[in-house]
Amino acid sequence: MVFFGGKDYLPLFCRLTGRYQGKRTVFYNSQRPPEAPGCELRKFETSRRTNWHYQCAQDFLDGKLPL
């Protein structure tokens, strides 16, 4: 399971997927890694600050961000 979104939505993602037994990967774009217990954190490097997660999701779909 992969999370593409802003930090405000991350706590909800963690609560909704907390019992999921598979791998959970969280892409982020902040200086400090977010709190996401049980998730693999992957920093997405971009100069975009607004809507960066759209570019991240597209790069993932294009095969540029293998898991």
Residues 20-55: pLDDT tens digits? 999 999 999 999 999 999 999 999 999 888 899 999
What pLDDT score was predicted for residue 49? Answer: 82
What pLDDT score was predicted for residue 8? Answer: 93
Rounded to whole angstroms, the Cα distance separating 49 from 6 reads 10
Q: Would the CA dihedral through 13, 14, 18, 20 be positive or negative?
A: positive
What pLDDT score was predicted for residue 66? Answer: 85
Query: Each residue of 4-21: pLDDT tens digit?
Result: 998 899 999 999 999 999
Q: Is the pLDDT score of 57 beyond 90?
A: yes
3-class SS of residue 35? coil
